[in-house]
Chains A and B, each alone.
Chain A
Amino acid sequence: MPAVQETVERVRRIDVDQYRYGFETLIESDKAPKGLTEDTVRFISAKKNEPAWMLEWRLEAFRRWLTMTEPQWARVHYPKIDYQDLYYYAAPKPKKQVGSLDEIDPEILKTYEKLGIPLREVEVLEGVVRPEGERKIAVDAVFDSVSVATTFQKELKQAGVIFMPISEAIREHPELVKKYLGSVVPTSDNFFATLNSAVFSDGSFVYVPPGVRCPMELSTYFRINERNTGQFERTLIIADKGSYVSYLEGCTAPQRDENQLHAAVVELVALDDAEIKYSTVQNWYPGNSEGVGGIYNFVTKRGDCRGNNSKISWTQVETGSAITWKYPSCILRGDNSRGEFYSIAISNGHQQVDSGTKMIHLGKNTTSRIISKGIAAGVSQNTYRGLVTAHRKATGARNYTACDSLLIGDKCGAHTVPYVEAKNSSATFEHEATTSKISEDVLFYCVQRGLSQEEAVGLVVNGFVKDVLQQLPMEFAVEAQKLISISLEGSVG
């Protein structure tokens, strides 16, 4: 059944300007000179007081980057990015030496409060603002290029968990960083990852020692504030033998007319019997209803199940960004390792999403599962692109993939581009994909029972994405559910 006239009208009137995190924080900041040269790389490295080996590593990546060309294969269109017209480093100017949380610029604290991110751990600990039953979450807040606060450091230290900005880890735990940095996403991996390797400014570093179950959820909150700034964060998570960690990531940015670049790299390493659960709620500014502004999100995320019986699970809710180019992947190297990918990608207005995953089966009896739900509304384009491959020695590899797309309105597009490669006869791969619109019958049924049209759509959509939402940690699931309803507001009749 074609969309009813009312739906069409509403889609036309769609208003992406409902972005709730679009405010700007007015603080002074310290920036690297515009443009990208070896000097920029040296500047960033010097700002971070990095050891010589790190600078060398960055420079090598930078030289490699100069020889690379921007990939064109994704189904996203954008004007050519002028990499010389960007700031590669921006840090809030410290008013004084920051010793404790109280000394952080109150403007920044206010920003995070507005975003609903609790940085004041004392209050949280005392239960003043903590609703009953809420779990504790340690937060690393990254403001533009630097990490401004990491909470619960002490408690984590007791458990032996290292959770700190990566710039600090480079100085304090060089042996760990040296061993693992770039071991999952090599500096030469792809255009954006190489760029990131050269100019990354901050991000989180997590190390969970053998046999430790991380006592709380770890979380990073990324915020782009500065104008014309690229944000290049680098996250490295290592779960040593038999450990477990759950990590959450959230992102927002102010509303601006120009496009901003975000090119992050996330590396996960799971050793024998370890498990990493990585959840993302990505809500960068998507641009306005005319498609002006918004974040260009070019992210390389990869997990390496290096040990036997290890497990890596990616869960993502993608509602923001003008352009999303992101394929969280799992390399299933260890025998009996398991990779999971749960994704909800919602595009509205002029957003373009090209996202999916790669499951690379190398070890024996490895299993993977992909559940992807794409929802396209407005005039957006939403593409699932995924690879499942079993190598010669991956006996007993198993994969199940389900990617469903939901179209809301007749101006948007939903695409599926799966690659299924089996080089081993005992590999069992199943892939299914469907595309449909919300059934008018179902909507009619809901409306007849007293729901408004919008509530009815919300209900159907929530049912559609339920499989993925269930994978999110509780706090995130609530946030994600809200986000989904915000993203689709005004897009349905």
Chain B
Amino acid sequence: MNVVLAKTETGRALSDAFIVARDRLPGTGQILEQRRQAFDAYERAGLPHRRLEDWKYTDLRALMREVLPLAPAPDAAALKHAEKTLKQHKVRGTRRLVLVDGVFAPKLSETADLEKGLSIRSLREVLEAGNAELQSQLFAFDVSNPMVALNTAMMTDGVVIEVAAGTVMSQPLHVVHIATGSVPAAIFTRSLLRLGKDAGVTLVESYVAADGAKAYQAHDSLVIAIGDNSRLDHVRLVEDSAEAANISSAVVTLGAHAHFNTFGMTSGASVSRYQANIAFAGEGSRVETNGVNLLNGKQHADTTLFMDHAVPNCASREVFRAVADDRAHSVFQGRIIVRPDAQKTDAKMMTRALLLSDEAEADNKPELEIFADDVTCGHGATTGALDESLLFYLRARGLSEKEAQSLLIQAFVGEAIESIVNDDLRELAVASAIRWLEARA
């Protein structure tokens, strides 16, 4: 819809912010031009609002109101602060890569003794070095999404990971986004993960806040390219501060006979949106997308998945579970498109929402768009409260109301969590869910 809106005060402030920030953003020449174009695209559209179909349930004009100015680069105190936070979020057996306030922190990261075939660089390094191929991949995002356009214009840093053909890594990579700022500011990051043929890796992403970091905005984007016969396991945990906003997107492409297993859990952030576009580019590939929202207070979390079956003989599974308490609002939009020649597609999507309070809201929009006839596609969506008879059964066996609820909620989200293959990571997700339940009780 072409709604032309007068630029708001905050809109003008931001366009000044872009001019001011330009010197701090890596890349010159063509990159700067691409940034400028992306910023123009964002400026034309402004913050997305509910009149745009894709943002129908997540009106950022009402929820976020404005885009904050770019966060300052972390100083020594901030890094120290981040180090303390990092201790609480270490995941055993992983290689840590840390971004503090949107800037890669080599001192906090483990970049020494890389396995053969693994390359890790910061986004700043890559943009400044001028590698045309990597750069074109980094700019592969569709700027018709205003938040992606904004991210393209403002991205400050990130990690660029390359896994060479034939490299199967046993040690997972853990990218930790830490926000430390006590002043409200916005963080813009973009990362890239490239897997060659016959490669394999596990990627964990965490979004966390240091003590005292409150009303910040994390704008992140991730580009993933999975080569033929490769496998990527991906776990994403959003545990931002309860006043923060997290607006993220991902673009994933799969080669032939590739496998992508992804799990995302959102328990933090006041406003969050995760939009993933997953496209099949080669036959015989498979994607499993699983997600859990655990929300309370006035949290708003939106997961928007776009599964693009462009080629025949691919399979996709989406399992999504939302739990909303208090006045929380959970949104799931899933769209499966089966393009004209994508015969033998097998796509399933199941989304379920659990409302724990009369003021909570869950909106589901599972869409199917099918242009090929020899396919099996289906979706299901349910919404409801906890089953009274199950609660009664547990109460009769001596559990308290809260304990009984916790047990049932755990089982409810467990269906999505159990898809995580790596035992440690699955435990991590379970622990995170239990923490949320305990905080509730």
Contacts and interface: CB of A to CB of B under 8 A. Distances in A.
B373 interface: yes
A317 to B, nearest CB: 22
A124 B1 CA distance: 54
Contacts of A422: 353, 355, 361-363, 383
Contact of B367 (A72, A411, A416, A421): A416
A45 to B, nearest CB: 34
Interface residues of B, number: 36
A448 interface: no
A477 to B, nearest CB: 28
B374 A427 contact: no
Given A413-B369, A417-B367, A422-B362, A2 B343 contact: yes
Given A392-B358, A424-B358, A434 B373 contact: no
A408 B370 CA distance: 12
Given A422-B361, A428-B383, A432-B379, A410 B372 contact: yes
B203 interface: no
Contacts of A423: 360-361
Given A408-B373, A435-B375, A425 B365 contact: no
Interface in B213-229: none
Nearest to A419: B365
B382 interface: yes
A129 interface: no
A130 B55 CA distance: 57
A425 B357 contact: yes
Given A421-B363, A423-B361, A424-B358, A429 B374 contact: no
A246 interface: no
B93 interface: no
B374 A433 contact: no
A425 B370 contact: no
B375 A431 contact: no
Could you say which interface size class chain A belongs to? 35 or more
A409 B371 CA distance: 10
B283 to A, nearest CB: 15
A428 B384 contact: yes
Given A416-B367, A420-B381, A425 B374 contact: no
A405 interface: yes
Interface in A1-20: 1-3
B378 interface: yes
B378 A434 contact: yes
A407 interface: yes
A426 B384 CA distance: 6
Nearest to B338: A435
B195 to A, nearest CB: 32
A424 B362 CA distance: 9
Contact of A426 (B366, B370, B385): B385
Interface string B336-370: 00001001000000000101111111111111111
B365 A418 contact: yes
Contacts, number: 122
A409 B370 CA distance: 12
Contacts of B371: 412-413
A231 B39 CA distance: 48
- Residue of A3, A392, A422 with most partner-chain B CB within 10 A: A422
B363 A436 contact: no
A414 interface: yes
B376 interface: yes
Nearest to A385: B367
Nearest to A384: B368
B360 A425 contact: yes
Given A428-B383, A432-B380, A419 B363 contact: yes
A437 B373 contact: yes
A432 B384 contact: no
Contacts of B368: 405, 414-416, 433, 435
A427 B71 CA distance: 43
A257 interface: no
A73 interface: yes
Interface in B376-420: 376-385
Contact of B366 (A412, A418, A425, A430): A418
A421 B376 contact: no
B378 A414 contact: no
Contacts of B363: 419-422
Contacts of A436: 375-377
A410 B364 CA distance: 29
B374 A1 contact: yes
A72 B384 CA distance: 33
B382 A429 contact: yes
A431 B382 contact: yes
B9 interface: no
A374 to B, nearest CB: 10
Interface in A282-321: none
Nearest to A389: B363
Given A410-B343, A428-B383, A432-B378, A392 B359 contact: yes
A435 B343 contact: no
B343 A427 contact: no
A421 B370 contact: no
Interface in A124-166: none
Contacts of A417: 365, 367
Given A427-B384, A435-B378, A415 B367 contact: yes
- Residue of A414, A423, A425 with most partner-chain B CB within 10 A: A425
A126 B363 CA distance: 57
A72 to B, nearest CB: 8
A434 B384 contact: no
A420 to B, nearest CB: 4
Given A433-B380, A436-B375, A437-B374, A418 B361 contact: no
Nearest to B361: A423
B53 interface: yes
Contacts of B370: 405, 407, 413-415, 435
Nearest to B380: A432
A431 B374 CA distance: 23
B385 A430 contact: no
Interface string A385-398: 00000001001000
Nearest to B347: A435
Nearest to B350: A432
Contacts of B374: 1-3, 410, 437
A414 B377 CA distance: 11
29 contacts: A3-B374, A73-B53, A409-B373, A410-B373, A413-B370, A415-B367, A415-B370, A416-B367, A416-B369, A417-B365, A419-B363, A419-B364, A420-B365, A420-B381, A420-B383, A425-B355, A428-B383, A428-B385, A429-B382, A430-B380, A432-B378, A433-B378, A433-B379, A433-B380, A435-B375, A435-B376, A435-B378, A436-B376, A437-B375
Pairs A-B, 4 closest by C-beta atoms: A425-B355, A407-B373, A431-B381, A422-B383
